[in-house]
Chain A
């Protein structure tokens, strides 16, 4: 396979959620190489790790993010794509460690204090990671102090706050206030079922998105 075919193949495996050769999903790609094998082959053929990431894995996940926004794929397909992405990424690990490949930046994410919902936050984390960002997932029920500690470790990081309940919107407002008061340069993204752009403006966050890809678009713009 030539370089272009391999990179297109990797992107296609991520988009379709084809993890490796033995994976039975998706049924029409049974017994074919997955993201795992194609990434290994690409590196063996001398394609740079950066090219594999930027022209293979990331574009595949980007298509998934867009399709998810448009209700053309759903949570299961995103999970499978993230799994395929991660099968390819494991081959890139040494290149991240050596500094040969760099991520676009750091994204700290968590569900705000009082809120124990994690599905939306997890999807966001997967899609942002798939876009080439390092994601630090602080989990659920996260207080302001934990966000601030993570920001202090990664001062250039962007922060994503998620909530599902109207009850915890108030906590989101408090956390945004505390971060902005003490770490005013930190840019904060918010999301979750009950929040909207009007609420974002009121609490002083920087970006609202109704879907993960909207967060990726914003993040990518900040570093382009």
Chain B
């Protein structure tokens, strides 16, 4: 067999069709990146750790002119910055590092009109040639392209409306919930469509439906309101690129949603938090239908474990998944400032120790 490119190896592993080396992934917070730069003199940690894909980005234009106009019911702090959705992010104390407090423009509105008229971002194919070119270049380099569409339906809607208001709308079957969720659905379908047209290999979807102790919302509520819309986003992408891999992220214990996610067409579950999900049990039940991305805990193992403990957990995951693969190994979440660098190196070492990567 000819040698696989990193992209081919990643895609084969994600389809559980075997692999030459274990793909890994990690995302560092700002202070970790700075420490990496201090150590190596550059910021290209993806290359150093051997990550086989790169994120590609869709260009979207804000649909609003003055974001403060989106907040008729709230006086925002002066430090507030706005993202393309019009969500306000204000700074916390210095101790909050990169975290910001989110402001919800549609919170407390009683007006369906306001929801209908809310200006979601504008996406234009002509202004996204760069995305198409980026994907092409990555493929030429033998790397896979992955796009960020997490916070797909439930979270984007709750970010706009506030979790409490959206939940109340859903439980009381208020038309505002239908209008908002459908509006967000249309927006996400247009994003999924353009990503798939550009040839993106992995569509990264997700909505947090788990808490540490179990589901955040009842699986029945999810099946009624969220699941059908999630499926429509996936179907829209697959209509254009049938082999696109569907990655789905939910924090917390998402066990009770897995069957529904498989029904929707999800291929890869992320991050499988080991503090509240039993990886081996999940793999035993779903290992023939799903692949897993992450799995090494950022609550306990990575910040407080030793490099040997990290290596041991990594080996265990790799061995559980076996020779067909189905594992992209890495931290379950963004690597926060207190994780020792040696523990990240231990992930890389464990992956290479069991399946050495051919020299390129």
List chain A positions with a Cβ less than 8 A from chain B: 17, 23-25, 27, 69, 71, 73-77, 79-80, 83, 113-116, 119-120, 140-141, 143, 165-168, 170-171, 193-194, 210-211
Contact = CB atoms under 8 A, between A and B. Distances in A.
Interface string B172-204: 110000000000000000000000000000000
B213 A141 contact: no
Contacts of A73: 218
B270 to A, nearest CB: 17
Contacts of A143: 93
Contacts of A120: 211
Given A74-B216, A166-B298, A194-B299, A113 B163 contact: no
Contacts of A114: 92-93, 95-97, 99
A116 B92 contact: yes
B303 A141 contact: no
B167 interface: yes
Nearest to A27: B173
Contact of A76 (B93, B96, B167, B337): B167
A167 B298 CA distance: 11
B101 interface: yes
Majority DSSP secondary structure for residues of A touching B: loop
A13 B215 CA distance: 23
B173 A79 contact: no
A25 B171 CA distance: 6
Nearest to B303: A166
B338 interface: yes
B44 to A, nearest CB: 25
Given A75-B167, A116-B96, A210-B213, A167 B218 contact: no
Contact of B217 (A75, A116, A170): A75
Given A114-B97, A170-B338, A194-B299, 13 more contacts: A17-B171, A24-B172, A27-B173, A76-B167, A76-B171, A77-B218, A79-B168, A113-B95, A114-B92, A167-B336, A193-B211, A210-B212, A211-B213
A99 to B, nearest CB: 32
B337 A74 contact: no
12 contacts: A27-B173, A76-B217, A76-B221, A79-B164, A79-B168, A114-B95, A114-B96, A116-B96, A166-B338, A167-B97, A193-B275, A194-B299
B170 interface: yes
